[in-house]
Structure 1
Amino acid sequence: MDSPALLLLALMSAGTLLQVQGNVIALYGETITVPCNGGAAPPDDLMFIKWKYEKEDGTGDLLIKQAHKDQATVQATDEYADRVSIDDKFSLLIDQATLKDQKTFTCMVVSGVNLNEYPVTVVVHKKPSSVEIMDKADVLQKDKTSTVGTCVAADANPAATITWTKNGKPLVADGKAILITPSMKVDPATGLSTTSSILQYAATKEDKDATFSCMSTHEQATEETKLDPFPIHYPSEKVSLQIMSKAPVVEGDNVTLKCHADGNPPPSAFFFHIKEQKMLVENSDTYTLTAIDRADSGEYKCSLADNEKMEGSQSIVVNYLDLNLNPTGKVVKTFGETLSVKMEKSASDVAKISWTKNGKVVKEPAFTKLTYADAGVYKCEVSMHGLTREKSFELVVEGKPVITSLTKHRAGDAQFKVLTCEAQGVPEPIFQWSVNNSNEESSYINGKAIHKITVVPKVNLTVTCIVSNKLGDDVMTINVSSVFKEEKQERGSQEDSGDQAKLIVGVLAGLLIAAAVVGLIYWLYMKNSRQGSWKTGEKEAGTSEESKKLEENNHTV
């Protein structure tokens, strides 16, 4: 027996053994580190440290490390022989942890006076190697318990716990709509546990967008696996007929009917009831009525091909609009005649009526006595619910030409005169003049014609304007004086006016001179008379009557 063993026996017999229990959790497949005395420093008088473990039939030695040696001596001869070692803190290292390593390992510290043992229990954990949902359902049946899937958390220690959720909330088995069946299996070779859970669920229509998840819970990890939303199958409970064409429906439209059933999957065959005829449509849910007319107004139905009691209906009102106008096309009338315009409409609803003449809005035309201004293109438009009808006629008012005026004009001292002849008539009248002319100008608007000519009359003339069209003619004359005689007369008039002015001035001058002479004579006479009386200062002799008269005259003066 070697010296460490002899010393160990001596210490044990002396009763100095001390044991302190500890625990270590290791990870499957990794290195297990078992500390000696919780990692505390060894005593100063350390002699050696020995690691051992408990076996079913006793105790097994692993290794021994003497204080004065660098290397430890491996004593194990079983599966630990190649897996154990010791570090500089005297911790036991075990490579490639397995569940078989879940044992109690003891670190024995021997010093000069003491022998202490520090047992450590090792537990090996392993998270599930995989968490997946198997046997997934394709669809779920409404109100029928169906298997959603089987969730499996494989190869774990301890065994994982599985929880099912819907839309993030845990599902609790109720024995009716929710059934959860858990199970667990241990691999005899590795000792690892595989946990399974089967979810059965009775779906509702509201579950068509639901998300089911499997949650695996373990000391080392929590993992969630989600399923895509399931289609929920259920029979149709309601059928409706829809009008897919634009509203409102107007005569001539193509109208598509759609039969809608709320089942899932949707039915693939329907009956459409068209004018008391039953039309079978397969692999489609629509039927199209082409070029619908007013006679097609009424109620329409559709039903499931495998259950005709499930049906829907819809009424269709076909809007229509008719317009009749009299007259239409080109209408030729004579000036002064009457024209009756009659418009008739037939519509399924209130329609809007508008009139235009040559593109401009006007009132409904009424002609009691046609004029040239009434001519034009008249259009009647009737509209309702997007439906439009229009009719038109072109009114032409014809008449024999009538001259309305014939005038002459001379601009300043020009050596010519401009004659203007105005007339009304349709078709456009032709102008003829009885004199030679130049610089002709003409216009024709709304039955009114104007024609201008330039003439140079050397003598006095009587000029005739003649207008004509296919319906007749008209004539008017005008006197035109010679431009040369007019100039001579104007000059003569100017000379006579000058002579008369001179004569008047002479007469006025003579009268003024005569008046001045008479005034002067009178002034001299009066002066002389007064000077004779004032000079003598005496009264002239005379009768008493003369004296009185003279005195009265003096007072009067």
Structure 2
Amino acid sequence: MGLLRLSLILWTICAVRGQEYTIQAQDELLIERKIGESVTVEATVTPPVPNDQLSILFWSIRSLGRVPLNSNDTNLLQTYNPVTGKVSLTVRSLQKSLNGTYILQLFDAVNAKYAHSATINVVVLVPPSSSSIQGGDVHTAKAGTPYDIVCQAFGSYPEVEISWLEGSIETSESQQTTAVMGVDKYYTTTNTLTITPTMAYHGREYTCVISGKQMDDEQFITSTLNVQYIPVVSIAASSPPPYAELPYQTENTEVTFLCSADAQPSQITWKWFIDEEEIAGETSNTLTYSSVSHTLNGKDLKCEATNSAGTGSKTHKLNIHYAPRLTSSLDNLEVDLGSRVDLTCETDGNPTPSINWVRADKPEAIITGSTRFTIASITMADIGSYQCVVTATGFPKVVHTVHILLRAPPKMHGTTGASGSRELEEYSYSQGQTAVLSCSADVVPEYTDVIWTKGSAGTPINFAPDSRFSKHVEKSVHGITTMLTIKDLATTDFDDYNCTVVNALGSDSALVTLSQTDDFPWKWVVVGAVIAVVIAIVMSVAVCCCRKKYQNKTSSAGSLSVVSNTTDNSTKKPTDCMEQGDASSLPEYGLRPIDVWKNNQDTNATPYPATDSPIEDGKPELYGSYRVNTMGTSFKPHSAYPTENYGSYRVQHPRNDLHHAPQYSTLPIRPSMLPPNEFNRFSYDNELNDDEFPEPPLEHRLATNV
């Protein structure tokens, strides 16, 4: 190729009759053209040879053995100018076969002049016949393992250039290019891109870019990277969903752990482990505890996910919150004065509990905030109950009580009698019943015996299995309660009983009396008396209700009349109740010396005359409450009422509604109902609107017999 860039002038000198000819090639001795383009090569013969003397003039390609090019080939055009001696050859469309070194030859047979020659190199630029990325459009690589992507271009002349794009950006990954010429003199160019993918590379596109001067445009070949990577695992917990990275779980609640994984390929098998021990049967990505236990606290929960690329896992340290609990025993202490006492309250819980020691009778006063409480020398003031108060966030406080008990002989409960023994309560039963007698004592240390005797002589009681007597002991913190049971009481059983409690330091006794109850049924007498009183009260109330005056309803519109209803007063009783009826049921008579006042609260109101005539026209000002005075025309007190004023009176209520029959309110007036200075009031409330006839105030109605 370097020779093509040198200016070659081949001089062929023949001494024929003293004439010399030269052929000088054009200045451009190396011509590059793309395949399909046209090219022209030229040379000049000096001196020019006339056409009639020129017998041989042709172009040949050295690689073809200097054989003249086919002058009949239409793709070739050869011209000669005998004046200037310029010879040209034009190739209209270059093909791969026309690539090579062009030589011009001539021979003047007439003058017996030999030919001279010159060479011009014509290079046909050939694009790749094919190109590709080895392995196809999708490349599968394993994360963390170096992987080569190879791009090749075949059959080009000269070699092409190959580069890579990662997405749309030129990659900085390592690459290497080689070019190899084949026997056909054309090149195969190879570029190898080496990458070490991570899971982030999955789905990336890598593009091979092929370019060269023999190509009109760049060529792009794209391949997608499929990165296989082991599962990247995470663990979340839920109670209930949605799932989240919970800081803790609470004991005795249902908790589901969810294992998630980002993996390629996505086909995954699952396993669960507690402290590296596989949990049998758990092969899904969820693990459920219906009631999570505090025993799991602090253990490692691991989820393992496996695909074809490998195995990934995630470990979660379980944080189970649970209520504080005592881990050391807190037993009651039996002590002697002056001895040393150490109390220890060891607890467990999550969150870590805090501990305070307090006196049971003063829980607000903290003695110490540590787990250990020491009294160097016990005094009487130290005897009592102490509490270890354990608290933890999110849980109720836990209180553990320990009693410091003074060692001493038993001490019976009750008062000291004249005999010096303890006297307890007296028990009373009837003959034939079952009696239960009891006595209690403070006993520290524990009792060794409980003795029951009967009577002043201290007769031992037979507790044989078939006996009517049995005893029972119930223990408490400070002592015991013993019970003596006697079945089917007989007369001889009613006596004093002695209860004695014994321990290692001594004994104490108490006296219990069993007496016989009086069988007279006093309680039934009392019950009967109470029932009789209740009946009397009910009857009195009924009589009072019967004497109550009730208000009556309205009648025809526009009139008011007060009519005497004469009756046989001799048949009327003071307790007769008021009756109701319409106009047809009561004969109408004059009012006699009875007057009616408008507005029962106005003592100075002008009375309406005591006649049978109705008050006409239904004037609204006549509506309201009325008062009937049975003492005559004034309110002057009378010491007695004429008997002719006694009887029943009815009031015909005014209405504007003419479609309803009149109704009446009947008022009995008797001496028992009309004490001196009293008067009766009427109110309108039935079938009348409240705004038409308002009801009188309650205190006014209660103050009369109406």
Q: Where on the TM-score scale, by shorter chain, does this alignment land: which range?
A: 0.3 to 0.5
Give the TM-score, by structure 1 length.
0.42
More helix by share: 1
TM-score when normalising by structure 2: 0.35
